[in-house]
Structure 1
Amino acid sequence: MACLALIFPLAAQAQDSDSRNWEGEAELGVLASTGNTEETNINGRVGLKHEVARWRNTGEFRSAFSETEDVTTTEKYRLELESDYKFDEQQYWFVRLFHEEDRFSGYDFQSSLTTGYGNRVWQVGERSFLDLSAGAGYRFNKLEEPNADGTRDDDEAIGRIAGRYDQALSENALFRQTLSVEMGLDDNETTTESETSIQANIVGGISMKAAYRVQHLSDPPVGSEDTDTELSVSLLYGF
């Protein structure tokens, strides 16, 4: 609960009159993965955003699951929370919490807490922009199997750089590219993640979305692949 309080300082504390500026989206579709899991499964996602004059708070929860002959072949849960304090229209300070549990990744869980500076370096209208950010924090992962020293802990200070590019293709279509790199400051263990997506409105708040995601670990757990890919097609409902 302390982490949640840190990540999401309520906009009410800022006493902003626009405290009802909430947006959300729910997504459900089919996902084909390669790497540590090679399956076609059902994926779901829920995202929330709250933005006022000085604060922008976002949260996202994802899950993927599949079962073959009563045997679980995919089981993944992912949570991301971020709170940005905006100095002006472009510059902001962020605090980000990440937690993932992937049954077939070689980890019991992976988590990190980072903070740093971000800048919206380019923007046209409300739907086309480029955000770049850099910061530092701490990563704490728990391995399924012990390290050479007999421990299952994989934790260290990290540096993080990230970018997000949104481009409105039309009134009803949007292209999005995200890229992030987290590097350990002790052993240079690096996690790189990229997601490319395009979505188009069908009717009302319902859209069709296609996405391709790649995650690469420079030093994966023993017996695990270093690269996972996911290709998904889903329906998205905005509210």
Structure 2
Amino acid sequence: MKQFLPAALPLVLVAIPAQAGQLIHQPVVQDIPAEPEPPEPLVLILPDYVYPPPFIPVEPPRLPRNVRAMIEAAIRTDDSNTVAAVVKMAIETQPYDKDEIRSMHRAFLDQKAEALAAKTEAELQRIRSSGVLDLWTGKVELGAFRGTGNTSNFGVTGSLKLNRKGIDWEHTVLASADYQKDSGSITREQYGASYQPRYTLSDDIFTFGRLQYEKDEIQGYRDRYSLSVGFGYRVLQRRDLSLSLEGGPAVRRTRFVAQPSETTWTTLTSIDFDWKINGALKFTEDASSYVGSDNSTFTSLTGIEAGMAKGLKARLSYSIEHETSPPDGSVKTDTISRFALVYGF
């Protein structure tokens, strides 16, 4: 007997034992679980897209307070080298804040530049409004000396140096005297004076004039006048170191003790060197030469100054004067060692 089942149900034949050795085939319906339904789709609700995107201001990272305090403390010292060193250290330790650190450094440098410009302008205005007797500075030197050459003795020495420096012009006046009297007779009597104006053409180049007077009867001349003009060059011009060279033609008028007076043309060269070794010690060298066809004069004055008190210094100097053709009875070279006290004003 056949029985039809719906097509959707699978047909399974199961053998069932029958009585009396008969085999009966009977269909059995087996339940099969249905497939699970798919999940509902995920719906994401977003706001409408805004164009252009909005700008949200955010403050930059702030420099740590301790680093800022360290930089501000360095700025209060008003020392550029100290500030530069602290800024360099701060940038190395806080590289992400380098812009803010550099901004603080730049503000300090700008303030320094403005203060220097204001100070310079005030100084220029003071110089422009000054009178002829204003702006003069000077120093007085008094001491003792020991001489060798034409004489060998001890004596007294003194000098006065005045200097006036303007915007373009600089004036220098120098006077000196060495005097010694032994057993009622004068064994040394040397006097000198000079006036030298300078006019600045550029930072390095200047013109100059020099009028010089000398008197040294022991050396063989009663009076000697020298007049020269020329150009100068500032090789070094720093706060603690300066070197300038000068050169030009010169005319000399000499009145000798035992010979007729004469006038000669020569060439002048000179060196002016100053070195401030430290706040209390200074080295100076002033050398000049008058080179002529008949006679040449070479001089050198080397000195070292040491500060003792405000405006007061101790000075040790050694001078050499050499004449290639001195008057009869005079030696070619004179040397003087001096120890003096110098007062500046």
Distance in 2 of aligned mates of 1:114 and 1:97: 7
Distance in 1 of aligned mates of 2:281 and 2:202: 28
Alpha carbons 1:18, 1:52 under 8 Å: kept: no
Please, which of 12, 16, 26 is the counterpart of residue 128 of structure 2? Answer: 16
Alpha carbons 2:307, 2:313 under 8 Å: kept: yes
Number of residues paired by the alignment? 217
Please, which of 210, 215, 218 is the counterpart of residue 104 of structure 1? Answer: 218
Distance in 1 of aligned mates of 2:269 and 2:302: 17
Deviation at 1:71, TM superposition (A): 1.3
Deviation at 1:116, TM superposition (A): 0.2
The residue aligned with 1:138 is 251
In the TM superposition, 1:57-72 aligns within 5 A as: 57-72=171-186
Give per-residue Cα distances to partners, 1:177-207, cap 9 Å, x unaligned: 11111111xx252111111100011001000
In the TM superposition, 1:78-93 aligns within 5 A as: 78-93=192-207
Distance in 1 of aligned mates of 2:270 and 2:138: 22
Q: Alpha carbon RMSD of aligned pairs, Å?
A: 1.3
Please, which of 298, 310, 329 is the counterpart of residue 204 of structure 1? Answer: 310
Letter of the 2:128 counterpart: D
Distance in 2 of aligned mates of 1:71 and 1:180: 31
Alpha carbons 2:319, 2:337 under 8 Å: kept: yes
Deviation at 1:119, TM superposition (A): 1.0
Give per-residue Cα distances to partners, 1:31-65, cap 9 Å, x unaligned: 11112232210001011000100100001110111
Give per-residue Cα distances to partners, 1:114-160, cap 9 Å, x unaligned: 000001111221x41000011012011111112xxxxx112111111
Gaps of 5+ in 2: 1-126
In the TM superposition, 1:97-176 aligns within 5 A as: 97-125=211-239, 127-146=240-259, 152-176=260-284
Please, which of 210, 225, 228 is the counterpart of residue 331 of structure 2? Answer: 225
Alpha carbons 2:211, 2:228 under 8 Å: kept: yes
Q: Secondary structure at the match of 2:170?
A: strand
Task: Give the share of equivalent positions with the same residue, in percent.
Answer: 27
Q: Secondary structure at the match of 2:319?
A: strand
Please, which of 286, 300, 305 is the counterpart of residue 194 of structure 1? Answer: 300
TM-score, length basis structure 2: 0.61
Distance in 2 of aligned mates of 1:103 and 1:156: 19
Deviation at 1:167, TM superposition (A): 0.7
The residue aligned with 2:31 is none
Letter of the 1:234 counterpart: A
Letter of the 2:173 counterpart: G
Alpha carbons 2:294, 2:325 under 8 Å: kept: no
The residue aligned with 1:149 is none
Please, which of 320, 329, 338 is the counterpart of residue 214 of structure 1? Answer: 320
| Structure number with higher helix proportion | 2
Letter of the 1:77 counterpart: Y
Structure with bigger RCO (C-alpha 8 Å, 6+ apart)? 1
The residue aligned with 2:154 is 40
Deviation at 1:89, TM superposition (A): 2.5
Deviation at 1:161, TM superposition (A): 0.8
Report the structure number with the largest CA radius of gyration: 2
Task: Go from structure 1 to structure 2 and tell me whether the alpha carbon gap of 1:89 and 1:18 turns closer, same or farther (over 3 Å shift).
Answer: farther
Alpha carbons 2:142, 2:342 under 8 Å: kept: yes
Alpha carbons 1:160, 1:182 under 8 Å: kept: yes
Distance in 2 of aligned mates of 1:188 and 1:104: 20
TM-score, length basis structure 1: 0.87
Letter of the 1:197 counterpart: G
